[in-house]
Every structure is written in C-alpha cells, then in structure tokens.
Copies of this chain bind each other. A is one copy, B any other.
Amino acid sequence: MPKVERSASLREVAALADVSIQTVSNVLNAPHIVKSKTREKVLWAINDLEYIPNLSARRLRSKKSSSIAVRLDPNFSEGQDSKGLAPGFIQDEFVYCLVEAANTRGIKVIAYTVANGDSELSKLKTFINSRDVDGIILTATREKDERLEFLEASNSPFLSFGRPWGAAGMFSTSNPWIDIDGRSGTAAATQMFWDSNKRTIGFIGWENQQPKDGVARSTGEDRYLGWFEKLRELSGKSRSDISLATFGGESIESGRRAARELLHAAPELDAVVCVSDTLALGCLLEFQKKGLNHILVSGFDNSPVSKEFGFSSLDQNLSEVAESALKVLMGATGFQIRKVDFSAEHTNAHILLEPKLIVR
C-alpha cells in the first residue's frame, strides 16, 4: 500500500467532476435535487478520489455533530460489598448495542467516565456547549437530578435508560426514559414454572426491596411484585398466603442462605424465581449440594453465568432498548438527533419493554 498523504477535499472532487463545490455537496446531502447525469459524474469523481468529507467542517457549518455521549461505569469495586457476578454486564451490553444502533443511523458515540472528584454535570455542560454532541443518553437518573435540569434548560435532546424509581416525577415528560419491565419478566418466569406443574414457587429478592403495598419503589420491588401478583392470580390464594419470599445482598453466599431459608419454610419447594443471576446461582449451588436437583431456578439478565450453569433467565433485550432509544431521539426514520416535544408529539416519553424469558 502506498503512502497516502491526505484525503481529497470537496474542491478537488468538484474540479475533477467539472462542477461547483456546492453541487458535490448536494450530491452528498440532497441527491434528489441533482440531475441524475450530474450526480453520476460527481459520484464517479468521489469514488475515484476516495473522497471522505471532513466531519469537523461539516459539523461547524451545519451546527450538528451527529454524535451522542454515554457514560461508562467501572465494573470493579475496591474491596467493599459484593456486587455479584456480573456487576457491569447490563450497562456494557447496553453501550455495545447503543453504539451499534447509532452507527447504523450515522451517529457517533462518545464514551465518557466520571472519575472520583469531577462532576458529571460539568462534563455534560462541556459536551453540549462545545457542540461535541447533539444529545445525551443518561443512566441512573433521580427525581431531583441536576443533569436533567441542565439538559432541559439547554434544550438538549436526551433520554434516560432506567426509571427514576420512587420519584413523584417518574411520569413527567421532563424525564423521558426507556426501561425494561421487570415485573412482567418475573411474572413470566412464575408462569413458566406453574406450567411445568410447580406449585410451591418461592422468590429471592434484594434486601430492603420488598414493597409495603402494591407499588414498586425500586427495580427489586418491581421484580418482586411480578412474582407476587402472578402467583396470586394462578394460585387463587389471598395476599397474606403469598409469603414464600426471602431477601439478601447481591452475592452467592446470600443466594445459598436464601435457599436454605426457603427450604426451611417450605420443604416441598419446587421452584424459585430470583431477582438476579447471582442470587439464582447461589440458590442453585445450594440445591445441588443437597441433591435437590428437581427444584427449578430462574434469574435475571441472561448473563454468561446463567448460560454456563444452565438455568432460565430474563434477557433484557438491549438491542431493542438501544434501537427504541434512538427512535425517540431521531424519529422512526430520521438521521439526526432532535429535541422532542413529548407534550405535542405522538412519541411516548416513557417506554417499557418486555424482557425475554430464556428457558433452560
């Protein structure tokens, strides 16, 4: 391969095709307004010179970066409490799917991190005000969130992955979000067990995440309610009789302990719906140790752990999440990020997608 000095500019393409710079630009950005004969001549020149537009120039002039930013989080914790077997799995998969979906739409994705000390808000301000990105994908938004306030005030397109649990403004159009319906997921797992003639179906959730009423205030409570309500519907039992649930931290050891607690409460236990793959594995290992291989277990996330150990799990379907997110920010078929007026448009500001039960 010969040394390549630099790539051609519009000017050179125009000279070769014997048209104006502007016509070449039109062939690229509005081909339909160029006469087909001219267009072909220009395309030939573009191809011949291997012309690739300078994106900085395009962005400066058009005032569109065709880029979005997304935060990356660390998967390791220095010491501290256990975060389970796949702490960053969902986030990393989501980012992968987002990049893939964005690239398909001609959008670049800039990854950023927030290291100890610097504020995410100042990073977002810099991204937006330097015109480096057109929009932002947020994660882990809260009710009073300075990021939301800034993005709203600066009129920047954005979307959150995940609901701001417990926030009064969860359904406010000023915090548009897309999320997975955990409740319907654990309900589906419960239904599957029931259909396999399991009648004593327990639940293992995260500690401090058991709803006091029928309303979920966290991901864990939401997944609990899916099991609870579905079991009530199927069994015809009263609320107070649906009580085969226990809770623990996100660790193998918690899963083992929870399994023992459930067995103690109901020796006839024959299935367990778990809030996570980590707890499901702990539970499964405890049953194996006791030779109770007939008890079925389900987890959440469809992580490599669930595949490797062969238990059912709920896949969050992140490529669909990513595509839906871009559909909100760009419209169904558009190629540009734009601000959506949810109060006026037909686009829903809050999207809930079904997880997919992977039966193993």
Contact = CB atoms under 8 A, between A and B. Distances in A.
A52 B88 contact: no
B82 A96 contact: no
Interface residues on A, range: 35 or more
A53 B132 CA distance: 10
A84 to B, nearest CB: 7
Interface in A236-258: 251-252
B131 A55 contact: yes
B2 A153 contact: yes
Given A92-B75, A129-B50, A110 B108 contact: yes
A56 interface: yes
A87 B89 CA distance: 10
A308 B111 contact: no
A278 interface: yes
A100 interface: yes
Contacts of A3: 153, 155
Given A52-B130, A55-B130, A60-B56, A251 B308 contact: yes
Contacts of A251: 308
A13 B82 CA distance: 50
Contacts of A152: 1
Nearest to A57: B60
Contact of A52 (B60, B73, B129, B289): B129
A269 interface: no
A111 B109 contact: yes
Contacts of A53: 130
A304 to B, nearest CB: 5
Contact of A92 (B4, B88, B103, B150): B88
Contacts of A54: 60, 130-131
A52 B126 contact: yes
Contacts of A4: 153-155
A336 to B, nearest CB: 15
Interface string A72-90: 1111100000111111110
Contact of A82 (B55, B84, B308): B308
A93 interface: yes
Interface of A: 1-4, 7, 50, 52-57, 59-60, 65, 67, 72-76, 82-89, 92-93, 95-96, 99-100, 103-104, 108-113, 115, 125-126, 129-132, 149-150, 152-155, 251-252, 278, 285, 289, 304-305, 307-309
Nearest 4 pairs between A and B by C-beta?
A56-B59, A52-B129, A7-B129, A56-B60
23 contacts: A1-B153, A3-B155, A4-B153, A4-B155, A54-B131, A56-B60, A56-B132, A57-B60, A60-B60, A67-B110, A72-B96, A74-B96, A75-B93, A82-B307, A84-B304, A84-B308, A85-B304, A87-B304, A95-B111, A96-B113, A100-B115, A251-B308, A252-B309
Given A60-B60, A75-B93, A108-B110, 12 more contacts: A53-B130, A56-B56, A56-B57, A56-B59, A56-B65, A67-B110, A84-B308, A85-B304, A86-B304, A87-B304, A99-B113, A104-B115
